[in-house]
Structure 1
Amino acid sequence: MLLIHEVIANPKAREIYLTIRKHGTVSKQSLLDESGLTISTLTRILDELLSMELLIDVGFGESTGGRRPILYETNPAYAYLLGLEISRTRAKLLLMDFHLQLLGEYTWNMDAGLTPEHLMESLQEEAQRMLASVSLDFSRVAGLGIGAVGPLDRRAGVILNPARFAAPGWSQVPIKEELEQRLGVPVYLDNGANTALLGEYWASSNRMQHHLLYLHAGIGLRSAIMNDGRLLYGMIDTEGAVGQMIIEGSGLPPHIPGGNAGAWESYVSVQTLERQARDAWRLGSSGLLHGLAESAEQLEFAHLIEALQARDPVVVRLFNEMAVYCGIGLANLINILHPEEVILGGPLFLAAEDFYQEATRIALERTYYREQYNVRFTRSRLRERSVAAGACAMVLQELTN
């Protein structure tokens, strides 16, 4: 699959294509106003892009007094995209069109048997099955994007040494090279927070925002930053480093080897919540928790959500206390980065309304210049598909930038 700048040799034509992609649906008059081109030049470019099947016209817009304007979109069937999430709990594969509309989906549990080799073998089979179900084959696939738990080397395409994977073998995995050989398509790798933010950006109807912050709260804390539609990268993959922000100087011991005492992730994570709830079960302070699990070790996050919805006072207190710590850490990030919008994903934000409301309230309360600086909070629009959908968007971005 050729890159768009290789397909569209004319820089002005490429600019028009990218403008239409960013807007979604746009009229010829809007393109004329925005581009500054003459009507004859713009018409020639649009005809060229239509003939190459990069664009389609989708009818007419509303009249503002004269003739109804023709509306254009990028062609969703120009090529197709595969996106893979690799997290500590699951792997998820999506098939999407060039508009990031979902065509197929498959999920694996990241159990002790899902080694890298097993996942890659199964992925090849499932991708072929998905494509066949919509009468496609790999010749129509522009690439596979992967959003994975770090640390990783995104340029080399290697998953380095992620912690807390159930299966062996998830260290120094050259996943880009191996999957390119298996599938015969380009493969791109980034951390899951970055791809999730990319997915949320393209799922939004407002792509004119300049500064975005994404935070995922689940087994750990992961973050990503976007400026003017582009992800910001440091010298190394730092997706999970936000969880090592110290919020209590002589606080709880770290969850991971080499982590910081008093780190944010020690106070805000599904693991921490489950550990606290298991302590409560052993103390017998919640009858409801005893009814949900026969032993403390059997208590899981889904049980805690059930208890929260039943307004069990012990569980409500645990979620509220964690939300305070979450809000303090969020305020620290906001005061440093000053995003326009903070997008919150992961099970803690998506499954627990009280947690989301309290954490954002605390964050706003601790935000400097809060009267003048109106940061917006939203929850993930793509929810459990955000990482894999964003991995598809990463392929699209690689092709079109």
Structure 2
Amino acid sequence: MASQRGALVGGTSRGLVLDLIRAQGPISRVSLAEATGLTQATMSTVVRQLLSDGLVVETGHGESTGGKRPVMLDVNPSSRFAVGVQIGRESITYVVADLVGAIVGRTRTPGMDGDEPGGMIERLAQEIRNTLDGLGVDKASVVGVGIAAPGPLDLARGAILHSPHLSAWADAPIRSMLSTAVGLPVVLDNDATAAAIGDFWGGKLDGAVAHASVYMGSGIGAGVLIDGIVFRGASSNAAELGQIVVTDANGAETVLEEVAGPSAIARSAREGGEAERLGLSGNDDFDDFRLIAKASVRGDRGAGALIDRSAAHLASGVLTMANLFDLDSVSLAGPAFAVAGPAYVRAISARLESDFFGRAQHQVAVRLSADVSDAAAVGGAALVLQSELAPRTMGLSAPATV
């Protein structure tokens, strides 16, 4: 197994060529050789292997530059697939992506709140099988499964350590357990990191140099990419945005999640006597948060004030992170942004425009992720495609296999 912190420097020649065809195809062999620095002989060998494996197809001829018209190459999207699984207390999302990262199917089921690992693993494996069967995808063409989970994680062992939102999974080796159950290679990564990689893989970052994906489900986290490389820290648990120490309304020190997260907003609504008016059940904080977000979008002033409070606290946290990493790009991802996401975009954009330290040199683009609710699942599938087929210098961990 590769080191959890080690970068896959360029990968193999095969991976490098496939990645370039995926990103720039249709493209000729001559252009590939020029872009990669590989010799024509090496390029011919690599392309022959990719054609033989069905990963690449010849799509016709390009324009002549004086000699024979070049044969153009492109990725065969339906030759390989990957499954992404976004797990959380509030919901579980499954997506299936083809070789170019296009989503061909998705399923959402109830979350993992209180579920024990043994039975839950079989449920995950069965849902993956059902999803593939429903799409008519042959398991032999699936390169693996990418799990996106809330941290902290031990990527070396493929385990969730002690997530406050998935307490039953403390120290459970989810990667190897699921790989055995489903019979496929499995990659595990942080949900926020997965969301960031998904944005990168899909080409949605507009050339950003320093990007952060802020992920909010039941908790709050962030994934940071510097020049397309994941910033992981000493134990691959960097950018835990929700754990930044802040001061609450009473002047007491707490963490950002406790004032900006969905549970904090749901509690504030109930403590403020808003439960009955907003139809809150009190049984599930995240469901209550969704109701508050919907009421806010409909123009309810009390609900709007609660969302604005959350957004203001989160904006302060993002400002701190932007100053630390000199960010030029931020995307918001996760199910908590599905309804009231634009309010958070406005609050964070305004705070960065007024207070970001480097604002005289550059702006920080703030947007919702293209797959806001399912961003981590999409990123999980991208993790598999990236690490199995076309590794760049991204610091990805190797998949566990059965």
Same fold (TM over 0.5): yes
Which residue pairs with 2:357 in the alignment? 368
What letter matches 2:256 in structure 1?
A: W
- Indicate the RMSD between aligned Cα atoms, in angstroms: 3.1
The change in CA–CA distance for 1:114 and 1:59 in structure 2 (over 3 A counts) is farther
The change in CA–CA distance for 1:70 and 1:205 in structure 2 (over 3 A counts) is farther
Residues of 2 paired with 1:363 and 1:69: CA distance? 48
Residues of 1 paired with 2:280 and 2:368: CA distance? 34
Which residue pairs with 1:221 in the alignment? 220
- Map residues 47-62 of structure 1 onto 2, 5 A cutoff: 47-59=48-60
Structure of greater relative contact order (alpha carbons < 8 Å, 6+ residues apart): 2
Cα shift readout 1:241-297 (whole Å, capped 9, x = no counterpart): 3212123389666xxxxxxx2322222111121122222325xxxxxx644327777
Residues of 1 paired with 2:259 and 2:217: CA distance? 12
Cα shift readout 1:324-377 (whole Å, capped 9, x = no counterpart): 222222111111101231111134544212232122211221101312122211
Which residue pairs with 2:8 in the alignment? none
Matched, 1:359 2:360: no
- Select between 376-385 and 319-328 the one with higher mean Cα deviation: 319-328
Q: Which of these residues, 381, 384, 400, is aligned with residue 373 of structure 2?
A: 384
Structure 1: tracts of 5 or more residues without a match: 1-9, 254-260, 283-288
Which residue pairs with 2:255 in the alignment? 263
The change in CA–CA distance for 1:243 and 1:132 in structure 2 (over 3 A counts) is closer
Query: What secondary structure, in the 3-state scheme, does the structure 2 residue paired with 1:383 have?
Result: coil
Query: What secondary structure, in the 3-state scheme, does the structure 2 residue paired with 1:272 have?
Result: helix
Query: What secondary structure, in the 3-state scheme, does the structure 2 residue paired with 1:107 have?
Result: strand
Determine what percentage of the aligned residue pairs are the same residue.
26
Which residue pairs with 1:145 in the alignment? 146
What letter matches 2:174 in structure 1?
A: I
Cα shift readout 1:54-91 (whole Å, capped 9, x = no counterpart): 31233456789998765432232332212211112112
Which residue pairs with 1:312 in the alignment? 300
How much does 1:201 deviate?
A: 1.1
What letter matches 1:106 in structure 2?
A: T
- Select between 177-186 and 81-90 the one with higher mean Cα deviation: 177-186
TM-score between both structures, scaled by the size of structure 1: 0.82
What letter matches 2:143 in structure 1?
A: A
Matched, 1:292 2:278: yes
- Select between 136-145 and 66-75 the one with higher mean Cα deviation: 66-75
What letter matches 1:178 in structure 2?
A: M
Residues of 1 paired with 2:305 and 2:125: CA distance? 46
Query: What secondary structure, in the 3-state scheme, does the structure 2 residue paired with 1:342 have?
Result: strand
- Select between 97-106 and 371-380 the one with higher mean Cα deviation: 97-106
Matched, 1:323 2:311: yes
Matched, 1:82 2:76: no
Structure showing greater radius of gyration is: 1
- Select between 99-108 and 20-29 the one with higher mean Cα deviation: 20-29
How much does 1:116 deviate?
A: 2.0
- Check the 8 A contact 2:88/2:165 in 1, yes or no: no
Which residue pairs with 2:193 in the alignment? 194
Residues of 2 paired with 1:374 and 1:27: CA distance? 37
How much does 1:104 deviate?
A: 3.2
Residues of 1 paired with 2:37 and 2:113: CA distance? 58
TM-score between both structures, scaled by the size of structure 2: 0.82
Q: Which of these residues, 260, 263, 273, is aligned with residue 265 of structure 2?
A: 273
Residues of 2 paired with 1:149 and 1:294: CA distance? 25
- Check the 8 A contact 2:241/2:317 in 1, yes or no: no
- Check the 8 A contact 2:214/2:222 in 1, yes or no: yes
The change in CA–CA distance for 1:79 and 1:163 in structure 2 (over 3 A counts) is same
How much does 1:146 deviate?
A: 0.8
Residues of 1 paired with 2:251 and 2:335: CA distance? 22
Structure 2: tracts of 5 or more residues without a match: 1-10, 392-402
The change in CA–CA distance for 1:105 and 1:114 in structure 2 (over 3 A counts) is farther
Which residue pairs with 2:104 in the alignment? 103
Which residue pairs with 1:6 in the alignment? none
How much does 1:26 deviate?
A: 3.6
What letter matches 1:93 in structure 2?
A: Y
Cα shift readout 1:92-141 (whole Å, capped 9, x = no counterpart): 22222222222333322125563322222122222222333344443332
What letter matches 1:195 in structure 2?
A: A
Matched, 1:301 2:289: yes
Residues of 2 paired with 1:311 and 1:66: CA distance? 65
Query: What secondary structure, in the 3-state scheme, does the structure 1 residue paired with 2:218 have?
Result: coil
Which residue pairs with 1:3 in the alignment? none
Which residue pairs with 2:21 in the alignment? 20
Residues of 1 paired with 2:238 and 2:38: CA distance? 42
Which residue pairs with 1:233 in the alignment? 232
- Check the 8 A contact 1:176/1:188 in 2, yes or no: yes
Residues of 1 paired with 2:239 and 2:231: CA distance? 15
- Check the 8 A contact 1:84/1:91 in 2, yes or no: yes
- Map residues 341-356 of structure 1 onto 2, 5 A cutoff: 341-352=329-340, 353-356=342-345
